[in-house]
Amino acid sequence: MSSEAKHDAIYWRIFLALAGLTVLTVAASYIQLGHGLNLATGLVIAVCKASLVAMFFMHLKYEGALNRGVALFPVVCFMILAGVLVVDLTDRWIDQWGNKGASHQVLEGGGGHGGHH
């Protein structure tokens, strides 16, 4: 709490970092790195930005274990959900690549805008 309580300069520095990362993530999206690497880059930058906001703007860095735990709880829940989904979907992708006829095109016939017509 000591240095943070006296100076607001830290907030300006965090803002500059966030703006810089925003420019970086837009620029990176125009470079073809392969879809896995593009996705990873976008997500890593987003996680960095989110951490800066949570730690400094939301003062999580200076919070006690209780509030930190409450903040972390939905993040863990999300990671469990995303993890289980990716495991399930990877299985389907392999199936899709293996047998093109048996693809899991959930959207097919649903919208009419999908370019299947």
Partner 1 sequence: MENVAVATLPHLSAQHARAKFGMWVFLASEVMFFTGFFGAYIVLRSANPTVFEQDFSVLSVPLAAVNTLFLIASSLTMALAVFNAQHGDRERVGNFLMATIMLGCGFMVIKTIEYGTKFSHNIFPSTSVPYALYFTLTGFHGLHVFAGILALLVLWGRAQAKAAATDMGSACELVGLYWHLVDLIWIFLFPLIYLLKFP
* Binding stretches for partner 1 (CB under 8 A): 1, 5, 8, 11-12, 14-15, 18-19, 22, 25-26, 29, 35, 38-39, 42-43, 45-46, 49-50, 53-54, 56-59, 66-67, 70-71, 73-75, 77-78, 81-82, 85-86, 89, 92-93, 104-108, 110-115
> In the bound complex, what is the minimum distance in angstroms from residue 55's beta carbon to partner 1?
11
> In the bound complex, what is the minimum distance in angstroms from residue 39's beta carbon to partner 1?
6
> In the bound complex, what is the minimum distance in angstroms from residue 98's beta carbon to partner 1?
16
Q: Is 27 helix (H, G, I), strand (E, B) or coil?
A: helix
